[in-house]
A and B are shown apart, each in its own frame.
Chain A
Amino acid sequence: MQLPVNHKPATDDKILEFLRSEKNFERGFRMLMDAYKERLYWHIRRLVTTHEDADDVLQNTFIKIYRGILQFEGKSKLYTWMYRIATNEAITFLQSRARQHTSAIDDLAGALATRLRADEWFDGDALQEQLQTAMAQLPEKQRLVFNLRYYDEMPYEEMSAVLDTSVGALKASFHHAVKKIEGFFRENDHL
């Protein structure tokens, strides 16, 4: 079996072919990480906001993928399957962090703003910080949908496979999220 010699990301078929070979499993997994680590990182980062937390969640995500990849049956796209794992890991992380705050939403938003300002890998302006704070106040599902649509520009059909929700429900969630964020900015005199 020949390994790819250029830096062009490998196709899913090629990655899975390597992963199913005992001899090339580890190389196959490195190919998988090379192909998807940036997309998965940014998806997670926008959910958990700080680089340090995103790094933890991403590494846990890859460990879960590593352990489960041979059970991947190809019923969905590899990308969709990994997105789902990353999303679940990020949600679990956010839920455990939320339990640490006793917690009115304002407390949670305040804690997030503090963490964001302390994160050396965030250099956004006041509006960008406000957007993160507004997103943190959304219900979990709306926040996910907003992230996937607003930042990842994921089509609704693909999002439907990741979140196991109908396209109509996803469009409604996005619309509600947009309206709530707009309302948040209006209340804070940015509009």
Chain B
Amino acid sequence: MKKDELHDELNEHAPFLNELRQKGDGMRVPADYFDTLNDSVFRQLDAIGARRKPEAFAKTKTQRSWWQWMQYLWQPRFALASAVLLSLALTGWWYFSKPAEPEIAVAAISVEDAEAYLMDNLLELDQNQIAMILPADELLHISIDAEPAPADTKTNKHELQLSPEDIEDLLRDMTDEELEDLL
């Protein structure tokens, strides 16, 4: 079929070349050329140091196409490792990106609840804590004994000395338990 096509093609354009083609090209090869060619090629490979050694083979074998890489990475061990790494990354991202909890807790407590809590636990607070909570103009320092606080404390400038009447009023408002705690 293909020969007929070529025959027709040549006959149409150059019948002379079609006739010449039947005679062949006049080229020959030595009798044992093709029988010895394989060994000649391997001798050449040896001579230029290109004959493949097992380690060179293994190195070349790992040069995969992108599709072979995808198939290789799709093996269960790589898929499992990828899933674990992805989970860790997502957990880390969620942990570090969420808002700090204490701010939410403080924001959620009403002013009334905060006042009630402070009043209930007033005796548990030290002077510094009270100074941090109260506005400057309402700062009250109760000094039962007359000794002043050390001069370098921040609260010194806000200290007030209570009169005996003030102390009596305060004591009157206190419960028995509070008095016991105070003593």
Q: Is the CB of A125 within 8 A of B26?
A: yes
Which residue of the partner chain B has the closest CB to A155? B2
Q: Is the CB of A191 within 8 A of B16?
A: yes
- Report the minimal beta-carbon distance from B29 to chain A, rounded to whole angstroms: 6
A residues 34-78 with Cβ under 8 Å of B?
34, 37-38, 41-42, 45-46, 49, 51, 55, 58-59, 62-63, 66-67, 70-71, 73
**Which one of A51, A131, A149, A179 contacts B30 once the chains associate, using CB atoms below 8 Å?**
A51
**Which one of A22, A181, A182 contacts B58 once the chains associate, using CB atoms below 8 Å?**
A22
A127/B30 contact (C-beta < 8 A), A37-B37, A58-B37, A178-B10 known:
no
- Report the minimal beta-carbon distance from B89 to chain A, rounded to whole angstroms: 34
**Which one of A41, A63, A121, A179 contacts B13 once the chains associate, using CB atoms below 8 Å?**
A179
**Which one of A26, A49, A67, A182 contacts B17 once the chains associate, using CB atoms below 8 Å?**
A182
Determine whether A153 belongs to the interface, using a CB cutoff of 8 Å to chain B: yes
Determine whether B40 belongs to the interface, using a CB cutoff of 8 Å to chain A: yes
**Which one of A22, A33, A38, A151 contacts B25 once the chains associate, using CB atoms below 8 Å?**
A151
Q: Once bound together, how far apart are the Cα atoms of A132 and B20, in whole Å?
A: 12
Q: Is the CB of A63 within 8 A of B48?
A: yes
Encoded as 1 (CB less than 8 Å from any A CB) or 0, chain B from 90 to 116 comes to: 000000000000000000000000000
- Report the minimal beta-carbon distance from B18 to chain A, rounded to whole angstroms: 10
**Which one of A22, A38, A67 contacts B50 once the chains associate, using CB atoms below 8 Å?**
A67
Q: Is the CB of B21 within 8 A of A150?
A: yes
Determine whether B175 belongs to the interface, using a CB cutoff of 8 Å to chain A: no
Determine whether A129 belongs to the interface, using a CB cutoff of 8 Å to chain B: yes
* Chain B residues in 8 Å Cβ range of A37: 34, 37-38
**Which one of B2, B14, B27, B50 contacts A63 once the chains associate, using CB atoms below 8 Å?**
B50
Q: Is the CB of A128 within 8 A of B20?
A: yes
* Chain A residues in 8 Å Cβ range of B34: 37-38, 41
Q: Once bound together, how far apart are the Cα atoms of A45 and B6, in whole Å?
A: 21
Q: Is the CB of A123 within 8 A of B17?
A: no
Q: Is the CB of A128 within 8 A of B14?
A: no
Q: Once bound together, how far apart are the Cα atoms of A37 and B37, in whole Å?
A: 8
Determine whether A81 belongs to the interface, using a CB cutoff of 8 Å to chain B: no
Determine whether B3 belongs to the interface, using a CB cutoff of 8 Å to chain A: yes
Determine whether A25 belongs to the interface, using a CB cutoff of 8 Å to chain B: yes
Q: Is the CB of B40 within 8 A of A124?
A: no
Q: Is the CB of A51 within 8 A of B27?
A: yes
Known: A66-B52, A70-B61, A151-B25. 19 other contacts (CB 8 A): A34-B38, A38-B34, A42-B27, A46-B25, A51-B28, A63-B48, A66-B41, A71-B63, A121-B27, A122-B28, A129-B26, A150-B6, A150-B10, A150-B21, A175-B13, A178-B10, A182-B13, A185-B16, A190-B16
Task: Show 23 residue pairs from A and B whose CB-CB distance is below 8 angstroms, ordered by the A residue.
Answer: A22-B57, A33-B38, A33-B41, A34-B38, A49-B27, A59-B37, A59-B44, A62-B41, A66-B50, A66-B52, A70-B60, A121-B27, A123-B26, A125-B23, A128-B24, A128-B25, A129-B26, A131-B17, A178-B13, A178-B17, A179-B14, A182-B13, A182-B16
Q: Which 3 A-B pairs have the closest CB atoms?
A: A124-B26, A128-B26, A62-B41
